Structure formats: C-alpha cells, structure tokens
C-alpha cells in the first residue's frame, strides 16, 4: 500500500515492457533517413556526377576528373585555345538577376509599406491576389508578356497606333531605341531584348518581394513614425530617417533571396533573351536533356550554379543573424 502512495505524481517510467517505444525510435530514424535521402541525395549526386567521365558517342561513367570544370572555366579546347563562353553564361545569369532583383525590391517596398497601413480585411484581399500571382507558373506569365510585347497586338502596336513610333522617328529617338536593341529598321520591337527579359523577371519576383518585406514592414512601430511626424518631419524625412534604417536588413535580405531565385529562371530567358545572351540555367538544360547531351558537364554547370546560389544564401543568413544579435 505504502509503495503505491509514493508512486503518485511521478511519471510512469516503468511501464510494462512494450514494443511501442522501440518502434517509435525506429520510425524516427527511418523518417530522418528518408528526409536526407530525398532532400540531400539529389545534390550529392549532382556533385558526384560532375566528376564523372563522358565517353564520346555514348553515356558517361563514374570517375574523378576535373575536365568538366576546366571546360567551364576555359573552354573545351583548353589548353590549345581559350574560350570563356560558359563564364559568360554565368555572367548573364548574374547580370539579369542583378538588374531585376533591385527593380522588384525598390518598387515593391513602397507598395508593401502602404499595404501594411490598410485594414486587416483589405490586406487579406490583397494577399490573396498577390499569392495567386506569385504561384502562377512562369509559363503563363511569359505567355502574358509574350502577347503584351508582341508586334501585332502588344506594346509596339499600341505605340504605333498612338503615333508615338512616328513621333520617335521624327525626333531621332527611334535611332536611340535601335541602338538599345528595341527596334527593327521599321518598327519598335521588344522581342528579343534585355528590356523584355528584365521586365518579365522583375514581374516574376515582384509578389515575392512584397511577401518577403511584409513581416518587417507590418511590425514597424507606428508610434516612432507618428512622433517624427509630430516633430515636423515631412514624409520623405520620415522615410529616410525612421523607416529605412529599421528595415535596412530585411531590404538587403529580400534582394539577395530574389537574386538567388532569379538565377534559376528558365522560360523568360529562352523566350525573351537573345540566344547569344542565354544563361547558365538554359545551358544546363541543354547539356542534361537537350541537344548536346553531356550529363557530367551539365552536372558541373549545376554545381557552379549551386555554389553561386549557396554563397548568396549564406550571405543573407549571416545578415539575418547579425541583425538579430544587434536587437
């Protein structure tokens, strides 16, 4: 009797020996192994295969050689001749992302600020709209801009009908447009051009920019803004001295994440960019499944893209932890 009364209140550590805890532990281990299998193995395989050996006219075998990396950095014919064509593709990947990501963040920032000032209900409606646009497949978005920029029913047609094209021809702006690659000898044209590529890419990540900036801006302390206003600061002064300093880190972090996202964009580049200005993503596709069929080289290019993306992700992580430490 007495031993039972002592037992009350203590956890029942000595349950009759059952299989349940052991099974639970086994399930836990199996689950972890599965997560590692699915989320890590593909990346490890890409790295391993990038060192493989391509056999002319056939597939490839496992190996340990750096020829594919050599080819990436110096061309296929190295050391007889040098070609930086793949480095150039990497540069275009960075170049488009470098222009499109800041454009998206700069235009999304004021929008998000206004959005967070709205009522909760209005915010919800906006968020549904933004999330629907964000999740819409790149193929549909490119489809839309393809029509909007097409010669027959898009922006060139609108400008022609409005007489702006003729006005540009009369004033010499048309020649400027030609120099920028935005016109054929007779008419304005946006396919293919840097303008169309960057426009579509910015559009693609714009809702992401809003969603990423949203938490920081909606937690912005309204009282400091109001205090600054009461003390006579104008809207621009408030923006510069109160709002921007507090959201500086999220702004940079968002730009970096969008940048990484844009490195992998495929359809916008194939449709809107000139073939001589295609990116690494397009080249990977060509090597692995497209015309050239060289899996190890495709894998090597993937590794380069992976490292590039990883570097920027690590950078954004460092930024976030730095910001948290200062808090």
- The 8-class DSSP code of residue 241 comes to I
| Nearer residue to other proteins within complex by CB, 174 or 297 | 297
CB of 91 to other proteins, least distance (A): 16
E strand map for 52-173 = 53-54, 60-61
Out of 38, 56, 185, 231, name the contact with other proteins by CB under 8 A.
Answer: 38
Q: Is 60 helix (H, G, I), strand (E, B) or coil?
A: strand
Q: Is 123 in the site for other proteins (CB under 8 A)?
A: yes
Out of 306, 315, 319, 323, name the contact with other proteins by CB under 8 A.
Answer: 306
| Nearer residue to other proteins within complex by CB, 174 or 288 | 288
Q: Is 299 in the site for other proteins (CB under 8 A)?
A: yes
Q: Is 215 in the site for other proteins (CB under 8 A)?
A: yes
Rounded-to-integer distance, Cα 95 and Cα 100, Å: 9
Out of 92, 105, 281, 297, name the contact with other proteins by CB under 8 A.
Answer: 281
Secondary element (H or E) of residue 74: helix 67-74
Q: Is 115 in the site for other proteins (CB under 8 A)?
A: yes
CB of 176 to other proteins, least distance (A): 24
CB of 321 to other proteins, least distance (A): 13
Q: What is the maximal distance between C-alpha atoms in the chain? A: 107
| Nearer residue to other proteins within complex by CB, 131 or 170 | 131
Q: Is 183 helix (H, G, I), strand (E, B) or coil?
A: strand
User: Using CB under 8 A, which of the segments 146-154, 167-175, 186-194, 319-327 binds other proteins?
Assistant: 146-154
Q: Is 147 in the site for other proteins (CB under 8 A)?
A: yes
CB of 197 to other proteins, least distance (A): 15
Rounded-to-integer distance, Cα 255 and Cα 315, Å: 11
**CB-CB contact of 103 with 198 (8 Å):** yes
CB of 289 to other proteins, least distance (A): 7
DSSP per-residue letters across 251-296: HHHHHHHHHHHHHT--HHHHHHS-GGG--HHHHHHHHHTSSS--HH
User: Using CB under 8 A, which of the segments 62-70, 77-85, 120-128, 181-189 binds other proteins?
Assistant: 120-128
Rounded-to-integer distance, Cα 224 and Cα 216, Å: 15
User: Using CB under 8 A, which of the segments 71-79, 185-193, 201-209, 237-245 binds other proteins?
Assistant: 201-209
CB of 38 to other proteins, least distance (A): 4
Q: Is 60 in the site for other proteins (CB under 8 A)?
A: no
Rounded-to-integer distance, Cα 212 and Cα 254, Å: 6
- Here the tokens at position 61 are 């075998």
Question: CA torsion sign, 42 to 48 to 51 to 56?
Answer: negative
Q: Is 80 in the site for other proteins (CB under 8 A)?
A: no
Q: Is 143 in the site for other proteins (CB under 8 A)?
A: yes
| Nearer residue to other proteins within complex by CB, 112 or 277 | 112
CB of 260 to other proteins, least distance (A): 7
Q: Is 227 in the site for other proteins (CB under 8 A)?
A: no
**CB-CB contact of 201 with 94 (8 Å):** no
Rounded-to-integer distance, Cα 96 and Cα 199, Å: 10
Out of 22, 26, 61, 128, name the contact with other proteins by CB under 8 A.
Answer: 128
- The 8-class DSSP code of residue 61 comes to E
């Amino acid at each position: 009797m007495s031993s039972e009364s002592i037992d009350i209140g203590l956890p029942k550590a000595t349950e009759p020996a059952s299989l349940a805890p052991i099974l639970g532990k086994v399930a836990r281990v199996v689950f972890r192994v599965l997560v590692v299998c699915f989320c890590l193995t593909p990346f490890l395989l890409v790295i391993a295969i990038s060192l493989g050996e391509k056999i002319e006219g056939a597939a490839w075998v496992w190996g340990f050689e750096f020829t594919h990396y050599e080819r990436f950095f110096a061309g296929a014919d190295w050391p007889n001749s040098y070609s930086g064509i793949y480095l150039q593709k990497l540069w275009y990947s960075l170049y488009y992302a470098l222009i499109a990501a800041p454009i998206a963040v700069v235009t999304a920032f004021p929008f998000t600020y206004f959005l967070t000032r709205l009522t909760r209900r209005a915010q919800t409606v906006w968020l549904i709209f933004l999330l629907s646009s964000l999740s819409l497949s790149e193929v549909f978005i490119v489809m839309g801009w393809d029509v909007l920029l097409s010669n027959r029913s898009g922006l060139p047609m609108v400008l022609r009908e409005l007489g702006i094209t003729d006005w540009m021809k009369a004033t010499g702006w048309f020649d400027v447009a030609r120099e920028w690659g935005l016109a054929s000898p007779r008419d304005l044209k946006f396919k293919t051009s840097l303008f169309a590529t960057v426009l579509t890419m910015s559009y693609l990540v714009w809702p992401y920019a809003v969603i990423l900036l949203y938490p920081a801006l909606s937690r912005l302390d309204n009282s400091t803004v109001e205090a600054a206003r009461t003390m006579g600061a104008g809207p621009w002064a408030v923006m510069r001295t109160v709002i921007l300093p507090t959201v500086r880190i999220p702004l940079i972090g968002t730009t970096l994440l969008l940048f990484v996202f844009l490195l992998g964009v495929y359809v916008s580049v194939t449709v809107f960019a000139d073939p001589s200005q295609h990116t690494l993503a397009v080249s990977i596709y060509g090597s692995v499944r497209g015309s050239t069929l060289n899996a190890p080289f495709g894998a090597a290019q993937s590794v380069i893209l992976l490292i590039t993306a990883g570097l920027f992700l690590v950078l954004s992580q460092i930024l976030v932890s730095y910001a948290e430490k200062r808090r």
